[in-house]
Amino acid sequence: MSHSSPTSSTNSTNSAGSTGRADKAEGAGILRHAENGVLTLTLSRLDKKNAFTQVMYGLFADAFEQAADDAAVRVVVVQGDVTVFSAGNDIADFQQAPRDDGDRPVFRFLRAIAAFPKPVLAAVCGPAVGIGTTLLLHCDLVYAGDNAAFALPFVNLGLCPEAGSSLLLPRLMGHQRASEALLLGEPFFAEAAQEVGLVNRIVPPQEANAMAQIQAVKLAAKPLAALLATKRLLKGAQQAEVLARIDEEARIFGELLQSPAAREAFSAFMEKRKPDFSRL
């Protein structure tokens, strides 16, 4: 959660053929590599702990929207560094974003990944804060380094959950454990994440990205129509419910963003002090 000055640029999706190709949106913090049916999206803003900017959300949304219609892409992998997956939102960048609530690039990305019809895998090492955790709820397979740490500090920032997490986390963890994560904002670690089903397997951090790639290649070799049908059946009626919840959360998130509590939380973060909610 830190400030930078990302450079906006366009970036077309590579065809995921047999020859691997990579490209980077200059300054945007995302690397894209397509090979053998697998599109890999790597968070590469390591100097800012892979904190998401509005530009990055837009590029992620573009990548998922394009990959959904690209016959050469059969599987998508999202990964970070061995030391950090993502510190969540870049607070300074987030504060500068237009107050268009549900039309923010973050919500466009969330709708795109939630509705994505093909398998999505993630490799997570180190901190996964906010969106770094909630996006995993829309991944089909998640591989975590044993250093992974998950946190959902929305309430601490005067905000509400996003990404459909208010619906999906209680179903995954149970109400009480989801309340620990969402109301208290208490972090949890790789073993707890595996126990509740958020993570498939825990490996040494240096092996997590490779594990996700191995599994992605296996999936890409399977019949695409069968993969699509099976994922659609796995999601079932929940799909529409999740998309509706994402929209509801976006509306409430936008309202709370204007609140005195959120202003105090964001000011305290930028001033590196503890927020004071006693009079709010």
- Residue 179: Cβ-neighbour burial (10 angstroms; 0-12, 13-18, 19+): middle
Q: How far apart are CA 186 and CA 212, in angstroms?
A: 27
What is the rounded average pLDDT for all residues in the chain?
89
Among 17-21, 78-82, 135-139, name the one with the lowest average pLDDT.
17-21
In this prediction, residue 99 carries a pLDDT of 62
Among 88-92, 153-157, 191-195, 230-234, name the one with the lowest average pLDDT.
88-92
Residue 87: band (very low, low, confident or very high) from pLDDT cuts 50, 70, 90:
very high
Q: 3-state class of 164 per DSSP?
A: coil
CATH number of 21-204+224-271: 3.90.226.10
Q: What is the pTM of this model?
A: 0.88
The predicted-structure confidence for 205-249, as pLDDT tens digits, reads as follows 999 999 999 999 999 999 999 999 999 999 988 999 999 999 999
Q: Are 164 and 156 in contact (CB under 8 A)?
A: no
Mean pLDDT of 39-65: 96
In this prediction, residue 23 carries a pLDDT of 57
The predicted-structure confidence for 13-31, as pLDDT tens digits, reads as follows 344 544 455 555 445 899 9
Question: Is 170 a residue whose pLDDT tops 90?
Answer: yes
Q: Which long-range contacts (CB under 8 A, 24 or more apart) does 95-104 make?
A: 95/266, 97/54, 99/254, 99/257, 99/258, 101/250, 101/251, 101/253, 101/254, 101/257, 102/247, 102/250, 102/251, 102/254, 104/54, 104/57, 104/250
The predicted-structure confidence for 239-254, as pLDDT tens digits, reads as follows 999 999 999 999 999 8
